[in-house]
Amino acid sequence: MDNFEWQKGFSMTFGLIAVDRATQMRTPKESLAFLGTYTK
């Protein structure tokens, strides 16, 4: 979750970790794995 989600509600999702609103369980998104492979 980020500040935009707090302001605009939970219909839009952003960030690298998905949050199940009912259980508050966090699940890493594919974009997090991709970002983890990035090197300069």
Query: Domain ranges in the chain?
Result: 3-36
pTM, two decimal places: 0.60
pLDDT for position 13 = 73
User: CA of 13: how far to CAs of 18, 37, 39, 40, in Å?
Assistant: 8, 22, 26, 28
Query: Which H or E run includes 21?
Result: none
Asked whether the predicted pLDDT for residue 18 surpasses 80, the reply is: yes
